[in-house]
Chains A and B, each alone.
Chain A
């Protein structure tokens, strides 16, 4: 069965960086894009960007350009999302998610990780 298992909660100071991992199992890691989505407490879902684990190609939402980096290690089927220059507004649960294949399209999200709480506080 498809599983995405994320790293544990993090507490960071403003200005620091955080790197969240997402280990995939139950499918061929390099065959499906990974997206990252975040959710502040009591708020809606916010899409951050995508990564193709096969090529390493990425694309980021404008809001996060210059602060986010999505990478992967194919030998251990793990994706990473690093967010830098953290501020209090970045406090949220961060989700990795697998993108389902769609012919002629960019695909929706079919499976989600369990989420990683990142708290930014001085």
Chain B
């Protein structure tokens, strides 16, 4: 199975801050990676697909980069509605695997 190591597990940031979250795959997964945002009591929502493509309707302050084994989700200027938990998901091979999640909290 491909292991996805996500870091940090949590972070505190202020509105307007630039935030970066990383996922590392235990083996190369091309660009078969998505990023998801989840708010309490809600289903996850996809932000980024194919590692760097912005999902329709998602604000442009979200961006993704990377290929192979190292991937990054960046929020260029954190907004109040961005406080949530973020997950990466690899879909290069079965079983699909998620990162452990990053909780973004208000500083």
Which A residues form the contact surface with B (CB < 8 A)?
A: 35, 44-47, 49-50, 59, 61-62, 95, 99-100, 102, 105-110, 112-115
Contacts and interface: CB of A to CB of B under 8 A. Distances in A.
Contacts of A112: 43-45
A41 B89 CA distance: 19
Interface in B72-95: 87, 89, 91-95
A35 B96 contact: yes
Interface of B: 1, 30, 32-34, 36, 38, 43-46, 49-50, 55, 87, 89, 91-101
B43 A45 contact: no
B32 A108 contact: yes
Contact of A109 (B89, B94, B95, B100): B89
A45 B94 contact: no
A45 B87 contact: yes
A105 B95 contact: no
A11 B87 CA distance: 28
A112 B55 CA distance: 14
> Sorted from nearest, which 6 A-B pairs have the closest CB atoms?
A112-B43, A108-B34, A108-B91, A61-B95, A47-B96, A45-B98
